[in-house]
Amino acid sequence: MKIKTRLYGAFLIVAILVAFVGGINLLMSERRDVMVNRSNEIENIQQALISAVAAHNIWVKNVYAFFVNKTDKLEVQIDSTKCQFGQFLYGDGLRHMSILFPSIVSILERVKDPHTRIHNGAAAINRLWQLNNEESHNRALAVLESDINQALKEVTQILDEAQNEALQLDHQIVADMATNIAFAKKATWSAIVVAFLCTAFLGFKISRGISIPLKKASDLAEKIGCGDISSERLNLELNDEIGQMAQAMDKMADALETKSRLAESVADGDLTVEVELVSSRDILGISLRTMVESLSQFLGQVSEAATQVETSSSQISDASQALSQGATESSASLEEISSSITDINCQTRANADNAAQANQLATQTRAAAESGNSKMADMMKAMDEIQQSSKGIAKIIKVIDDIAFQTNLLALNAAVEAARAGRQGKGFAVVAEEVRNLAGRSARAARETADMIAHSISKVEAGTQLAKVTEDALAGIKDSSVKVADLVGEIAAASREQAVKIEQIGQGLGQIDIVTQQNSASSEETAAAAADLLFQAKELSGLLRQFHLHDSKNRQSRTRSAQEQRPAKASAESTLPAKNTTRKNLVPPRSAAAKPSNIIALDDDEFGRY
């Protein structure tokens, strides 16, 4: 049986048992809910009956209060179907109770007659009271004490009987509920015990059938992981998934053992072995085959390379001697270049000194331009103040002109009044005429002064405009001076940097001379090392002959032909002319530090307006 089938069957049995337990609990829960609902309804009936008794007692007290207070009309419910208990008794509540509690309903049917007599007595009292005489009042009181009280006693007794019946039904429901709960507990515990035993038995059987084979498979996998491939196989004859896994692990161990034997043959130097693939997805077999082919190809290439190293060693010796001769010629050329660099360094330092002096003069020019610009700003401020004062004086002259005009009008009025006065006002007319003359002279003087002030203001405004133009020109001179100073500073910095770099070039040429001499000595050492390399190449060829390769014969023939071609090629290369070692124009690269930053672009057009 498959593991899947066993597990499915075990879980199905457990699920059936759980469903059985749940069904029992659900059934008992539904029955308990029904009983609880019936118990609640009985409790509601009891409350309704108690409320009915209390309501009718209050109703009777109200009737007695009517006789005590002797009001015009009895204010109580006369209709037996409309009081609170009457609505319950003649409504849907009693019809609903007849289905669930017929015994209580049969008792309540007996209360209808005395209940009706109570309310009918109230109606009789109301009619007798309306006659409004002592006899009718006494008869009404007799109705209360005899008919109504007797009917109330009957209603109370019947309602007490109904309450007792409801209490007995409630006790019966509680007893039935306890019986059902006890049965549910027994059934639930029985189902739980059966489910536990079945689950334990199935778990033991299934776990034993899985754990033991898995333990054997785990031991085999651990041995394979430790490298013990020749250990005993599982050989499990099972028809389930574990049996299939055991057969697969045995097959895997056999394949690993086969590949380990192939690896031993490769380790012994036999690269002619054939690696057979178990399947197209045999990654280990593919990797082992690739490794054997790669090793065979690699060792073949190494063998050819060793042969080539033998033939190249002599060529290295010849090249080393040619290198020594070229290094001697390079040293002589470097001495000439070093002398030229020294002359350039002196000229560059002189250029740097001149640039520094120009920078100092440009700084002084900038300071003078800044001072002139400051003085011009002060003059502009004074011109503005003069202009403001002139405007104030013009306003004052305007006031004086207005005063003269008013004085002239007053003098004219005074002259008119003096003329009206006749001889008595003649002297006053003379004074008014003089005052008028003075007012006219004041007006003329004020107008002349105003004209002069206006002319002065126009001159001041023209001077202000000229001063602004001059200030703008000085500001332009200042900005240009700043640019010139910065440009000269950049030139001085660049000249100093060039001097430093040229000096570094001289030092570098000295180091190149030293390196050239070292190359000459190293070339001689290289010739000696070439002889050692030839000896080591022969030793390597001897070691490589110990490996068995697929195409070793073809490779040996290719090696012999390469050895025959190497000497001819070497002789042809030795006949080539030597490389030209004449001196070339050396232009050292300029570093980023030597480049002036933030260069100010100036041309002749910017100085045209000065």
User: What is residue 580's predicted lDDT score, i.e. its pLDDT?
Assistant: 42
Is the pLDDT at 164 greater than 80, yes or no?
A: yes
Q: Tell me the C-alpha to C-alpha distance, in Å, between residue 109 and each of 115, 192, 396.
A: 10, 51, 123
Contact 56, 230 (CB under 8 A): no
Phi, psi at residue 491, to the nearest 5°? Answer: -60, -45
Q: Would you call 270 helix, strand, or coil by DSSP? A: strand
User: What is residue 242's predicted lDDT score, i.e. its pLDDT?
Assistant: 67
Q: What is the mean pLDDT of residues 436-456?
A: 79
Enter the DSSP assignment of 240.
Answer: S
Q: Residues of the chain with pLDDT > 90: what percent?
A: 0
User: What is residue 355's predicted lDDT score, i.e. its pLDDT?
Assistant: 75
d(C-alpha 309, C-alpha 537), whole Å: 6
d(C-alpha 366, C-alpha 360), whole Å: 10
Long-range own/partner contacts, residues 518-521 (CB < 8 A, 24 or more apart)? 519/323, 519/324, 519/327, 520/323, 520/324, 520/327, 520/328
C-alpha 231, offset from chain centre: 56
User: What is residue 131's predicted lDDT score, i.e. its pLDDT?
Assistant: 75
Contact 370, 478 (CB under 8 A): yes
The total number of residues written for the chain in this structure? 610
Q: What is the mean pLDDT of residues 181-185?
A: 78
User: What is residue 550's predicted lDDT score, i.e. its pLDDT?
Assistant: 62
d(C-alpha 74, C-alpha 64), whole Å: 10
Please identify which residue in the block is written with the tokens 């019986």.
179
**Token pair for 95:** 């019809």
Q: Would you call 548 helix, strand, or coil by DSSP? A: strand
Q: What is the mean pLDDT of residues 332-359?
A: 76
Highest-confidence segment of 3-12, 172-181, 293-302: 172-181
Q: What is the mean pLDDT of residues 171-192?
A: 78
- The per-residue DSSP string of 506-518 comes to HHHHHHHHHHHHH
pLDDT (tens digit, 9 = 90+) per residue, 61-70?
777 777 777 7
Q: Of all helices (H) and strands (E), which one includes residue 172?
A: helix 149-225
**Among 584, 118, 511, 71, CA closest to 340:** 584
pLDDT (tens digit, 9 = 90+) per residue, 133-154?
777 777 777 777 777 778 778 8
d(C-alpha 128, C-alpha 148), whole Å: 15
Q: What is the mean pLDDT of residues 417-426?
A: 74
pLDDT (tens digit, 9 = 90+) per residue, 268-292?
666 676 777 767 777 777 777 787 7
The pLDDT-based confidence of 367 (bands split at 50, 70, 90) is: confident
pLDDT (tens digit, 9 = 90+) per residue, 544-565?
666 666 665 555 555 555 555 5
The pLDDT-based confidence of 54 (bands split at 50, 70, 90) is: confident
Q: What is the mean pLDDT of residues 301-314?
A: 74
Mutual angle of helices 3-69 and 92-100, in 10-degree steps:
130
**Among 296, 274, 295, CA closest to 285:** 274
**Among 25, 29, 14, CA closest to 186:** 25
Q: Would you call 582 helix, strand, or coil by DSSP? A: coil
- Between 171 and 537, the more confident residue is 171
User: What is residue 557's predicted lDDT score, i.e. its pLDDT?
Assistant: 54
How many CB atoms neighbour CB 28 within 10 A?
Answer: 18
User: What is residue 100's predicted lDDT score, i.e. its pLDDT?
Assistant: 65
The pLDDT-based confidence of 575 (bands split at 50, 70, 90) is: very low
C-alpha 605, offset from chain centre: 57
Contact 145, 64 (CB under 8 A): no
Is the pLDDT at 329 greater than 70, yes or no?
A: yes
User: What is residue 568's predicted lDDT score, i.e. its pLDDT?
Assistant: 47
Q: Residues of the chain with pLDDT > 70: what percent?
A: 72
* pTM, two decimal places: 0.31
How many CB atoms neighbour CB 169 within 10 A?
Answer: 19
Q: What is the 3-state secondary structure (H, E, C) of 111-171?
A: CHHHHHHHHHHHHHHHHHHHHCCHHHHHHHHHHHHHHHHHHHHHHHHHHHHHHHHHHHHHH
The pLDDT-based confidence of 610 (bands split at 50, 70, 90) is: very low
For the chain, what is the mean pLDDT?
Answer: 71
Contact 452, 589 (CB under 8 A): no
Q: Which residues contact 281 (CB under 8 A, 6 or more apart)?
A: none
Q: What is the 3-state secondary structure (H, E, C) of 66-112?
A: HHHHCCCCCCCCCCCCCCHHHHHHHCHHHHHHHHHCHHHHHHHHCCH
**Token pair for 502:** 């040229």
Contact 531, 320 (CB under 8 A): no
d(C-alpha 289, C-alpha 277), whole Å: 9
Contact 26, 180 (CB under 8 A): no
Range from 122-126, 182-186, 189-193 carrying the lowest mean pLDDT = 122-126
pLDDT (tens digit, 9 = 90+) per residue, 485-516?
777 778 878 877 877 887 788 788 778 878 87
Q: What is the mean pLDDT of residues 589-606?
A: 42
Range from 13-17, 119-123, 246-250, 453-457 carrying the lowest mean pLDDT = 246-250
- The per-residue DSSP string of 271-337 comes to TT--PPPSSTT-HHHHHHHHHHHHHHHHHHHHHHHHHHHHHHHHHHHHHHHHHHHHHHHHHHHHHHH
Burial code of 317-352, b = ≥16 C-beta within 10 A, e = fewer? bebbeebbebbeebbebbeebbeebeeebeebbebb
